[in-house]
Structure 1
Amino acid sequence: LKFTLAFILFRWQTLIGGLLLHVSWKLGWAEINSSSRSDVSTWLPASVLFVGIIYAGSRALSKLAIPVFLTLHNVAEVIICGHQKCFRKEVNDNTKCYALFLLAAAGCLPFNDSQFDPDGYFWAVIHLFCVGAYKILQKSRKPNALSDIDQQYLNYMFRGVCTIVSLLLCPSGDLFRVPDFPFLYFYRFHGSCCASGILGFFLMLSTVKLKSLMAPGQCAAWIFFAKV
């Protein structure tokens, strides 16, 4: 499990995000209709990829600088572009140039990274492949299937189950190392993790709202600026 800063941060985000979404559903602020077993089972591979995104990302972030990780993370767009080119033939020249630019930037990183860590790059590559596959599955879903809120709710639930199972099955040595985590008893650290989960939750709700009100191009631009 490796109790690193990224590991703790992502677990806090899971707890806070899942709890807020469940409370919003119970209070009627968010509509969740994930009662169809066929829809839930169809989305299960995407939830597995979502957990892979989080786990591989946390492992990569524990070893790589944030700018390096973000540059590699953006290469997932190349995977999506390649899928569209092979199966949908919907790629224009601007998108091709954008994908090549991202690929070139990521390719130069290992030769210019003074803190090069092969293990970190390994987990970053797994992370970007999971991100690309997840977005492809998300775009290929049927229009009458699960909504964005349903998908996120199932992701939170599956991620929570995986976290509990991993804690129960992990080697005892990992659990014994928890008291050695340097920020374990710092309330500011845990408060910042909670704030990150809250902000991530509202960003997710805002993204869903934007998708329902704006054209795809405008929505993509706003999401990009929000992430920046």
Structure 2
Amino acid sequence: MNLVRLSPGLIFCLFFVVSHFTNKYVLSVLKFTFPTIFLGWQTSTGALLLYVTGKFGWVEINGFTRSAALLWLPGSIFFLGNIYAGSKALAILPIPFFFVIQNLSELVFFLIVRLTQREPSSWMKILRVFQRSSKSNHLSDLEQQLINYMISTFLLVSAAHPTGDVFGALEFPFLMSYKFHSGCFASGLLGFLLLLASVKMKSGQTPLQCAIWVLMAKIMASGLSVFVFITELSPLTVYCILTNHAGEALSIYSDKIQR
């Protein structure tokens, strides 16, 4: 019984680790540093798989109006910026340091919200209005993600030629390598499976439990990545990584007390 209850979180951790390792392999080991091409492949694959599985009834996609998609447009822009910055960071940083930077960005956003909480600035007012309007459209997590994938794919494909990524990808030395094609195929598929695992986990557990699972997944990915990828560690960097995870754990514990 306990294993059944824990299985959504364990499956999420598995896909989280393998997905990050696959992306790291393509971006860092193979050095495929053409984000519009790589992310365009991932988002188009995710959109196609969501659409097909929704048509077959394997996942719940009820459809949405054009107005709902337009209202969710700011969320899609934030999503694209997040994955673009994440791919750039993951390409040059070891996975443990990638999570440190990721948590620091969340801390900066938290501090900005705190500082603007008493007298919200104009952009914070716009963000809160956007959150209320998006909730009123009753878009599910999968429907929101489908919109994110569709809009991101369109923008990434549009930017591929102006940025020169198309010509760079055509000259990529591993372009005809089975390792490259296998890595790209796995990255698209694993990203989709990670999304499904995340939605499944959120549907059956509290936000606090989900936050604990995410922390465990990050710790697992950080620890295992040292044995999979070349990672230079010093006492100072180890202290930084441990402090990062400890800080996230304390943040979750404080949320638990406040609830």
Q: Give yes or no for TM over 0.5.
A: yes
Q: TM-score, normalised by structure 2?
A: 0.58
Q: Against the structure 1 CA distance between its residues 213 and 175, is the aligned structure 2 distance closer, same or farther, given a 3 Å change threshold?
A: closer
Equivalence for 1:43: 72
Q: 1:124-150: per-residue Cα shift (whole Å, max 9, x none)?
A: xxxxxxxxxx9xx77995266311111
Matching of residues 1-228 of structure 1 within 5 Å = 4=33, 8-82=37-111, 85-86=114-115, 141-142=134-135, 145-167=138-160, 169-170=161-162, 174-227=165-218, 228=221
- Report the alpha carbon displacement of residue 25 of structure 1 after superposing the two structures with TM: 0.7
Tell me if structure 2 keeps the 8 A contact 1:47–1:154: yes
Q: What is the distance in 1 between the residues matched to 2:216 and 2:65?
A: 35
2: CA distance, partners of 1:182 / 1:63: 19
Q: Distance in 2 between matches of 1:83 and 1:177?
A: 38
Distance 1:69 1:225 in 2: 15
Deviation of 1:179 (Å): 3.0
Tell me the TM-score normalised to structure 1 length: 0.65
The number of residue pairs the alignment matches comes to 180
Task: State the alpha-carbon separation in 1 of the partners of residues 176 and 57 from structure 2.
Answer: 36
**Cα shift readout 1:154-176 (whole Å, capped 9, x = no counterpart):** 01101111122123x516x5433
Alpha-carbon deviation of 1:62?
A: 3.8
Deviation at 1:8, TM superposition (A): 4.6
Q: Greater relative contact order (Cα 8 A, min sep 6): structure 1 or 2?
A: 2
Counterpart CA distance in 2 for 1:60 and 1:31 is: 33
Equivalent-residue separation in structure 1 for 2:84 and 2:52 (angstroms): 25
Q: Cα distance 1:213–1:176, how it changes in 2: closer, same or farther (>3 A)?
A: closer
Deviations along 1:79-103, whole A, 9 cap, x unmatched?
44335535679xxxxxxxxxxxxxx
Equivalent residue number for residue 104 of structure 1: none
Aligned-pair RMSD on alpha carbons? 3.2
Sort the Cα spacing of 1:14 and 1:28 in 2 relative to 1 into closer, same or farther, 3 A. same
Distance 1:222 1:160 in 2: 29
Contiguous gaps of at least 5 residues in structure 2:
1-30, 119-126, 222-259
Contact 1:3–1:174 (Cα < 8 Å) also in 2? no
Please report how far the alpha carbon of residue 43 of structure 1 lies from its aligned counterpart in structure 2 after TM superposition.
0.9
Q: Identity, % of aligned pairs?
A: 45
